[in-house]
Amino acid sequence: DIQLTQSPSFLSASVGDRVTITCRASQGISSYLAWYQQKPGKAPKLLIYSASTLQSGVPSRFSGSGSGTEFTLTISSLQPEDFATYYCQQLDSYPITFGGGTRVEIK
């Protein structure tokens, strides 16, 4: 199985901050990586797919980059509605796997 390691697991930030979350894969996955945002009690929401393609309707302050084994999700200017948990997901090979999550909280 391909393991995905997210860092940090917890992040405290202020509104307006630039935030970067990293996802490292245990082996190369090309660009088959997606990012999700999940708020308490809600289903995850797809933000980014193919490592850097913004899902329709997602604000442009979200961006993704990387290929191979290292990927990043960046929020250019954190907004109040962005406080949530973020997950990466690899779709290169089965089984599909998720990272452990990064919780973004208000400083």
Partner 1 sequence: QITLKESGPTLVKPTQTLTLTCTFSGFSLSTSNVAVDWIRQPPGKALEWLALIYWDDDERYSPSLKSRLTITKDTSKNQVVLTMTNMDPVDTATYYCAHKGGRGFGDDYWGQGTLVTVSS
**Residue number, 13 or 91, with CB nearest to partner 1:** 91
Distances in whole angstroms, Cα of residue 50 to Cα of each of 27, 33, 45, 105, 107: 16, 5, 15, 26, 31
What are the structure tokens assigned to 18, written together? 């630039």
Which residue lies nearer to partner 1 by CB, 61 or 103?
Answer: 103
Measured from the CB of residue 70, what is the shortest distance to partner 1 in angstroms? 18
**Rounded Cα gap, residues 38 and 103, in angstroms:** 9
Give the nearer residue to partner 1 in terms of CB position, either 17 or 44. 44
β-bridge pairing 62-67 and 85-90 = unpaired
Residues interacting with partner 1, by CB under 8 A?
1, 32, 34, 36, 38, 43-46, 48-50, 55, 87, 89, 91-92, 94-101
Cβ 15 to partner 1 shortest distance, Å: 26
* Residue written as token pair 């945002």: 37
